[in-house]
Amino acid sequence: MPRIDRIAEPWGTRTPYGPGETWPTRVDAYLADGLTQDDVDRWVQSATILHSNGDGLDIAVKDERIVGVRGRAVDRVNHGRLGPKDLFGWQANNSPDRLTRPLIRRDGELVETDWDTAMAAVTGRAQELLDEQGPSAISFYTTGQLFLEEYYTLGLIAHGGIGTNHVDGNTRLCTATAAAALKESFASDGQPGSYTDIDHADVIVLYGHNMAETQTVLWTRILDRLAGPTPPQVICVDPRETPVARHATLHLAPRPGTNVMLMNALLHEIIANGWVDSGYVEAHAVGYAGLAKRVRDYPPELAAQVCDVPAEQIREAARIIGQAERLLSSVLQGFYQANQATAAAVQVNNVHIVRGMLGKPGCGILQMNGQPTAQNTRECGADGDLPAFRNWANDEHVQDLARVWNVDPMDIPHYSPPTHAMQMFRYAEEGSIRFMWVQATNPAVSLPELGRIREVLTQDRLFLVVQDIFLSETAQLADVVLPAATWGEKTGTFTNVDRTVHLSEKAVEPPGEARPDLDIFLDFAHRMGLQDKDGAPLVKWSTPEGAFEGWKECTRGRPCDYTGLSYDKLRGGSGIQWPCNEENPDGTERIYVDGRFWSDPSYCESYGRDLVTGAPLSPVEDKAMNPSGKAVLKAAEYHPPHELPSQEFPFQLITGRTLYHFHTRTKTARAPQLQKAAPEVWVEMAASDAADRGFSEGDLLEVGTPRGRVEGKLRISGIRPGVVFLPFHYGYWDEPEGHEPSGTRGRAANELTITDWDPASKQPIFKTAAAAVRRLEEGSGPSLAPTTTASRPVVDGVPPTFGGQAALSTEEPANMPGGAR
């Protein structure tokens, strides 16, 4: 069986295919030292959890331990393939420093305790605050990494039981703008695209989306199209020279913070050249005149100056998009975490609406997610929305939810949109939130302006509960730490970007006393005595499957209809795309076919917001604008970023991911192959900027902003001049101080970032801060940044990133095992 170093070759071997053909199967597997597939006791069905792609895989179990993984050949998403993080990341499950017992703070120190003591402390404080202040004191900050069943149960407990409006996830940092943009254009969340659109598209545009590193298997699909006959044209919009940029027909590298200017100019060209499907727009959209008027003021020459992209490139991009026959667009953090995030992402939707390119093979929009289960956080009402895309501003929707939950509608807070994460931290800062329960996320590294976040989290008046699998930076600050089970140790479902629902079964027991997140929530509900309006227990289930059945009822008739799904149906085969119901028993590959949308005012999830001020539109305004359920074309004027470069801070700082790590490295740093591939933080700069200052590859630099300082070794890369890049994964848990910098300079990129967010999506801005750079020491060797990715060096003499023997994985071409058990 062919073996290949998947650290050195992150996307594996090409299996080329042509337009309209089926993507060939290639089954990727990695088993721990020396084991072969014959040694495995059993294979347990699951899907990938270290990114948002949702690739089907089987977990290998031997002697009741996880020993490896293998892609599922039958799966519609990956056709057997896995990325490096999937092949190696599972090893973190077996890490000896997993949390195995609850911890409680006694005399300032976290000490081990039993579950009863820990939960009594949690419920005791919650009850005290409910009596003293009411639900406004209680908040839940969840994640994009639990399972659907857990989010839905959490949403029910928090909204329907405790009655707090303060529930959000770290999905606010990764996917809030995806949801917001879809709600603006289609009045409801729900992904118009399907991954199979890659098989058909003749033009693929990636807006601020380094797919090669964030969704490696999806990018592999594009690479295989590019290697086959009649390949698609690819347009890349990114200030870095990413692997996507290197494969692109056209690469636009705009100045950070200017996406709306660029998009308005693209729409200007598309409309001015008449590349508009007028029939489609007339029949299925409102707001065309307003859009045309808005973009009239944005000729390519103006955008060329503001974005620092040649006008000719903007024209060429518009021409390729305007003449595409099957256009696929994907959008990610380069837009979502930047200035005017929603306005920029909405313009991508607008391109598809004016070109009539929706609901047909090859014609899709992928407003992407960063995390594996972010879609479920959005669907289940754990992220600042109500469950099943119900509209908090529509009284009938709230009444309907109250019926499903058997509670009084007044018990479900709906006086305003549910509180977003950044506002929750503000309420904690000013002292009105006094209880925060953080699950499977690490705000002490992932939120902007860490100095401030640490000050908020360490206040005595804030009771902090952290539920996690490791003692993260945030957990170290907690009053109570609850040890959780993770993927492979519990059963549940989750849904990826293109609405594919996968079942992930329990393969092994969790370590020590660690418990599934669902069990922890159920225990909390039970101890709090949460009841419905008839005095019966509020939460009516005790198992994941019971929760799933409850969720199905909640989704009946809603856009994300799960009523046709069951655990049995998800077992054995591939994932299934919602809506899946009586009419669509096998799921639905594409929504919005024939211009039918979910935007009717009585049905829609959202009435929309002002893209600049974020002010919600009223039902009356929405009805007047879009009475008959069409798509909505809207656009905003360009506003410059709030923090611009100055003499003191001449660079623009952007932060982002690398292929080999996930989030704050809690799992990936505990997988030796991944940690070795990207062992430490680095600073990326353009060759011209480095030359101007006399810096060389590997020099130790300090990057400073008005908020903090970070040090790292210089990697001279293909990034655009004037911009500095830092990866955001590196925190302090494997450093001496454990949760904060040990000196005046840290290594977490978020020491530097600004507290500012898009008013429409409330997603924080990580891509535009003004920064200064100076050299601390000359380097003794190159930076250890990966050479296989966007951080590829532009100077000679840097040894290539490789994994060696330890990273050899198998690749089997078509029609081999790896399917159903």
Partner 1 sequence: MKLDLAIEELHRSENHLAGALLAMSDRHKVDHEVFHVARDIARWSQDHVQALARIGGDFGLELDPEPKGDPTVLEKARQRASDLMGRSSAPGMLLLADLRHIYREASGTSLDWELLAQGAQGARKKELLALAERCHPETLRQVRWANGKLKESATQVLVS
Interaction site with partner 1 (CB under 8 A): 133-134, 136-137, 165, 415-417, 419, 422-423, 426-427, 429-432, 610, 612-616, 639, 642, 755-757, 759, 762
Residue (566 or 755) nearer to partner 1, CB: 755
Give the nearest distance from C-beta 423 to partner 1 in angstroms.
8
Report, in Å, the least distance between residue 119 CB and partner 1. Answer: 26
**Which amino acid does the sequence have at 368?**
M
For partner 1, the closer of residues 110 and 765 by Cβ is 765
Cα–Cα–Cα angle for 236, 240, 246, rounded to 5 degrees? 55
Least distance between partner 1 and beta carbon 756 (Å): 6
Residue closer to partner 1 (CB basis): 84 or 616:
616
Helix boundaries (H) for 228-286: 243-247, 259-272, 278-284
d(CA 328, CA 667): 32
Q: Return d(Cα 212, Cα 206) in angstroms, integer.
A: 11
Residue (of 392, 411, 421, 405) closest to 140 by Cα position: 421
Closer CB to partner 1, 137 or 771, in the complex: 137
For 366, the token pair is: 């992928």
Relative to beta strand 500-504, strand 651-656 is: unpaired
Cβ 298 to partner 1 shortest distance, Å: 16
CB of 166 to partner 1, least distance (A): 9
Residue whose CB is less far from partner 1, 192 or 708: 708
Strands lying side by side in the sheet with 492-495: 492-495, 500-504, 576-577
Residues 6+ apart with CB under 8 A from 428: 139, 434, 436, 456, 457, 459, 462
| Distance in angstroms (rounded) separating the CA atoms of residues 350 and 181 | 10
Minimum distance from CB of 134 to partner 1 (Å)?
6
Helix H segments across 679-751?
A: 687-693
Rounded (10°) angle between helices 341-354 and 176-186: 40
Maximal CA-CA distance, the chain = 74
> What is the SS3 assignment for 304?
helix
Q: Quick one: 142 or 423, whose CB is closer to partner 1? A: 423
Q: Tell me how far, at minimum, the Cβ of 459 lies from partner 1, in Å.
A: 8
Q: Which residues of 686-724 are buried (b: 16+ CB within 10 A; e: fewer)?
A: bbebbeeeebebbbbbbbbbebbbbbbbbbbbbbbbbbb
- Name the minimum Å distance from CB 387 to partner 1: 21
Helices (H), 659-719: 672-677, 687-693
- Number of C-beta neighbours around residue 790 at 10 A: 28
In the complex, least distance from residue 753 CB atom to partner 1, rounded to whole angstroms = 12
Q: Burial of 133 by CB count in 10 Å (0-12 exposed, 13-18 middle, 19+ buried)?
A: middle
Residue 290 CA, distance from chain mean position:
31
What angle (nearest 5°) sits at the alpha carbon of residue 69, between those of residues 66 and 75?
A: 135
Instruction: Give dist(CA 325, CA 148) in Å, integer.
Output: 37
The CA distances from residue 663 to 501, 522, 666, in Å, are 23, 27, 7
Task: Quote the least distance from Cβ 296 to partner 1, whole Å.
Answer: 13
Q: How far is the CB of 656 from partner 1 (least distance, A)?
A: 22
Q: How far is the CB of 654 from partner 1 (least distance, A)?
A: 19
